[in-house]
Amino acid sequence: MPPLRRILVANRGEIALRVIRTAQEMGIETVAVYSDADRTALHVRRANVAVHLGGSKPSESYLDIGKVLAAAKATGCDALHPGYGFLSENEDAAQACLDAGIEFLGPPPAAIAAMGDKVEARRIAQKAGVPLVPGLQEDTDEARLVAAAKQVGYPVMLKAAAGGGGKGIRIVRDEKGLLEAFHMARAEAMGAFGDDRVYLEKFVTRPRHVEIQIMADKHGNAVFYGERECSVQRRHQKLVEESPCVAITPAIREQMGKAACDLARAVGYTGAGTVEFLFSEGKFYFLEMNTRLQVEHPITEMRFGVDLVREQIRVGQGEKLAPVAAPHGHAIEVRVNAEDPNTYFPSLGRIARMSLPGGPGVRLDSALYRGMEVTPFYDSMLGKLVVHGADRAQAIERCMRALRELRIVGVQTSLPVALRTLQSAEFQSGDYDTGILERIDKKAATVPNELAMLAAAAARFLVAERAGASTAARSATGDSVPAWAALGRSERLRRTAP
């Protein structure tokens, strides 16, 4: 194939910037698309050309295949990069590109369809010799569901066949709650995906969520770039990821990598993809395959010294895969979400101020800028803080330091949750599972919030000063307390430091 000349980036936010930067380094022009809500977004300013799609809702803009493809044709693009989310796992979009003679920088439509259907994906994985969690693969009726749950043993999980993003998942502890959960899972699956099929799996105790990054070219080659630990999750969505996983031995890593590559070859896969596994008690089980670039791909890049977007583009041009370099050090990624750190509900508003971290081994992938409006139309993720260290201990310390440096004013963020997680003894020990965040949140709810106490004391001090009582402030109990004492030791030191 001739080298690609112009790529349309069918996405927004930090991933759009990520693709634009690599493409421009390769001498490839880029075309951005944008909605009404994203008129002033950074990806619009950084691309060579920008095309307005109209609307603010995803269905009116980034998910409208007709509009996106028309923009690609009108600007003379010979390739389309879908990023992640939106059209990245849409076989219709991939097929539309194929029909229009535009290279889709992702897997073929058939591979997307096969892996997007979780029931079909399990069938293919089983045939390829990839270990599966015991369960009932087929969509089923109530009688078969009850019988299968008894056979594999409680607790069990019900999962949407066309699912993703934590939608359509229910954990069932005993037979009494099975049928109610079954109907709730089906209803949620239908609402989220337009497909109410669900399947049943044995719920693995103390599971770790471990994934393998693969890349496949058009010449039948497939390679993997180690693994990522993604067990720190809220509502089945990842918050903190690290690489490597401290629980994986070299032998198991090779077995998982081989299984992931075998699965990719079984569906004629090309491009970047991730095969996700549950790992427990020395065994791993196939969970699903994400047929796109993952949000957490930067930690793999940091360890392996590879640009995965560049590899995607090279594969799209028909080139063979580059050799995989030996990994080094440890990497951690924290997703920075605009959300209430206590409820995880989205937080909307305008970015008034921000202070960004830096220093050795620190990378921030974001599309933040002062004055940016955080709207209800898109995912709450504002960016990704990525750090790399010589070992896990250094990576954790570096990440905590960078989290303290990162300040975003105007919306609430998930940064306090991430910092609590990295500070926890459970995370630092490396002996954790997918229930870690729930345990940390539960513990935090029972411990007084020191920052909140300091803020309340500072507020009382300011009120007293404005009232003319500069030397005393009233405590919550009505006792007279020196203003400096109400601030707490750390604030006193800060105010008196030279």
Whole-Å CA distances, 76 to 34, 80, 95, 266: 17, 11, 18, 34
Q: In this structure, what token pair is assigned to residue 34?
A: 């944008």
Cis, peptide link before residue 107, omega less than 30° from 0: no
Decide: helix, strand or coil at residue 484: helix
- C-alpha neighbours within 13 Å on the C-beta side of residue 200: 28
> Rounded to whole angstroms, how far apart are CA atoms 265 and 130?
12
Which residue's entry shows tokens 């001090």?
Answer: 461
> Rounded to whole angstroms, how far apart are CA atoms 178 and 150?
11
DSSP state of 282: T
> Rounded to whole angstroms, how far apart are CA atoms 359 and 483?
37
Q: Measured between alpha carbons, how far apart are the two ends of the chain, in Å? A: 65
Residues designated as active site: 292
Please calculate the CA angle 355-358-364 and round it to the nearest 5 degrees: 80
Decide: helix, strand or coil at residue 458: helix
Whole-Å CA distances, 104 to 215, 242, 415: 15, 29, 35
Task: Report yes or no: 321 and 281 within 8 Å, Cβ to Cβ.
Answer: no
**Cα-Cα-Cα-Cα dihedral sign, residues 342, 344, 348, 353:** positive
Whole-Å CA distances, 434 to 56, 208, 399, 431: 35, 6, 20, 11
Q: Do strands 373-374 and 198-202 pair parallel, antiparallel, or not at all (unpaired)?
A: unpaired
